[in-house]
Structure 1
């Protein structure tokens, strides 16, 4: 008898290109019985509202903000299965920075599913990136 899978799985099916160099996975499967935790888009602003005009700095702060939100539910980045990334004036240089910083967080290269959406602007003047996440709290 097969053991029931209860933990989320990140999958890169055969027949699709390898997305790991771009720091994401193609699919996430979340078995029933787990709690989904949705985190709204976090930008590069600090708790006091300071926003530095540098893409890498904002990206690091956005990840820090997300880590704070995850920790509030007893979760870490290992519990994230889906990410949506909005980038103002997206280009290959920003994609490279995003890949570098994402690889520092998911050192095992078990990246969440991610959709990157280039946008002309975000909610606040000077915002260069916003990231929302879906995490799984195991039952």
Structure 2
């Protein structure tokens, strides 16, 4: 079995160690990012929903950056929502600010009943940029 190439953003390793999972796994030129939530520095949920979504995207951005990627490299997105009917407008606003111009990644939104105290979670798959040699 090939050893997992785990990716962690700076400063949050302890939160992943406590829960025993990796922020992302690099496999060839693909990056599989674990679900990111709107947690504050101590790992607790941000109570304001819009800020929670913004923090989830910020945490995702940090994981992507740790692997040398950005939102422009994302090809697949799955989001989880505890109350999609009332939350989706806010999620769309934040998403449009973060994801950028077309072509957009494909997107699947799933309504769920439990996210460990959070109301939004986002996970992605990204194709890592190829290193260019001079």
State if a TM-score over 0.5 links the two structures: yes
Q: Distance in 1 between matches of 2:99 and 2:112?
A: 25
Distance between the aligned counterparts of 2:92 and 2:104, measured in 1? 11
How much does 1:35 deviate? 0.6
Segments of 4+ moved more than 6 angstroms: none
Q: Distance in 1 between matches of 2:48 and 2:54?
A: 10
1:1-139 aligned at under 5 Å gives the runs 35-91=29-85, 93-122=86-115, 124-125=116-117, 127-139=118-130
What is the RMSD of the two structures over their aligned residues, measured on CA atoms? 1.4
Structure-1-length-normalised TM-score: 0.69
Whose helix fraction is larger, Structure 1's or Structure 2's? 2
Q: Which string of whole-angstrom CA distances, capped at 9 and with x for unpartnered residues, describes residues 83-128 of structure 1?
A: 110001221x311111111111123133211110000111x22x00
- Give the number of the structure whose alpha-carbon radius of gyration is greater: 1
Count matched residues: 103
Q: Deviations over 1:54-93 (max 9, x none)?
A: 22111100000000000001111000000110001221x3
User: What 5-or-longer segments of structure 1 have no aligned partner?
Assistant: 1-33
Can you give the 5+ residue segments of structure 2 that lack an aligned partner in the other structure? 1-27
